[in-house]
Amino acid sequence: MEVVRRALRERRYSTRTEEAYVHWIRRFIVANGRQHPSELGADAVRRFLSSLAVEERVSVSTQNQALSALTFLYAHVVRRPLAPVDGITPARRSRHLPVVLSQREVRAILGRLDEPHRLCVMLMYGSGLRVLECMSLRIKDVDLDRREIVVRGGKGGKDRRTPLARSCVLPVRAQLARAALRAAGDRRADTGVSGIDDALRRKYPDIDVDWRWQYLFAATRTHVTADGRRRRHHLHESVVQRAFRRAVSAAGISKRATCHSLRHSFATHLLESGSDIRTVQELLGHTDVRTTMIYTHVLNRGGLGVRSPGDDL
């Protein structure tokens, strides 16, 4: 497993991808009586994936993630790429339309949230942020004068710029003041910030206590890392997700809305207001415009963008 982790880090995979791949590779080895993967082959992979789908009834995305982990294992660790075998191709995902909230529903949800959860929801809706992108915002990436946010290392490791809503300026200013006070206290307590690359930390020794690198939404508690240094992480995304679910329920909204529905709503409402789809693609950070095209199917013009004959009754 140490070789697996080393291979993942050499190729600059994200921490979450590393955790997921290590999890599936370990499960694969245990499911095959702890045999070394070099002693197993494509048939063992097919049986493992079949067991996930038939016996454990995992989702399509979970099955594909397990396949990606085992493909990496055999290609870059065992050095024996998997031969094409029926049953180990990626499972086909169903196409689902995104859940989109109306502006009335967004206002109802905001009215049932407290700070900082309310500001997090405002940013996810007003700037099209993913929940983890919002939680990991640093002070230096919020520009109040230009009213924009720089998203660093988004999905696929891509950076992008996105607008900051005018209604978010004052709450963000207040949150920045609270973050600066917390950063001053951490500096006195010699508590650093997490999530900084070791190479960058060597280049700038004081970066751990530089207030500009602090998280906008910092966690309440600190933790001690493997190097013995106390650090502060960002607010965990599950905290905001739970608060959002409670607010949706309290607002009496029947849609199966999650925090990601705010990003869907951001894109749909931009298209409804006449924004160009290429602009929306850039703001969302999509590589392919076809990913953004799904929002054209949920615009507020009827099911297929036509007027229903029932309107004439």
The reply to whether 9 belongs to the active site is no
CB neighbour burial string for 26-65, b if at least 16 within 10 angstroms, e if fewer = eebbeebeeeebeebebebbbebbeebbeeeebeeebbbb
* Entry pTM: 0.77
Q: How confident is the model over 278-297, as a mean pLDDT?
A: 83
Q: pLDDT tens digits, residue range 84-135?
A: 766 566 666 656 788 899 999 999 999 999 999 999 999 999 999 999 999 9
Q: Which of 138, 231, 264, 286 is catalytic?
A: 286
Share of the chain above pLDDT 70, in %: 91
Q: Which of 117, 118, 130, 264 is catalytic?
A: 130
Cis peptide before 116 (omega within 30 of 0): yes
Residue ranges and CATH numbers for the domains of the chain are 2-77 (1.10.150.130), 103-294 (1.10.443.10)
Q: What share of the chain is helix, strand, coil (3-state, %, to 5)?
A: 55, 10, 35
The reply to whether 231 belongs to the active site is no
Q: Which of 26, 155, 178, 233 is catalytic?
A: 155
The reply to whether 236 belongs to the active site is no
The reply to whether 229 belongs to the active site is no
The reply to whether 260 belongs to the active site is yes
Q: Which of 76, 160, 246, 260 is catalytic?
A: 260
Q: How far apart are CA 262 and CA 274, in angstroms?
A: 19
- The DSSP result for 151-196, as a single string, is EPS-GGG--EEEE--GGGHHHHHHHHHHHHHHHHHHHHTT-EESS-
Dig out the tokens for 205 from the structure.
């020794």
Helix or strand holding residue 231 (H, E): strand 230-234
The mean pLDDT value of the chain amounts to: 86
Q: pLDDT tens digits, residue range 30-69?
A: 999 999 988 888 888 888 988 888 888 888 888 889 999 9
Q: How far apart are CA 181 and CA 214, in angstroms?
A: 11
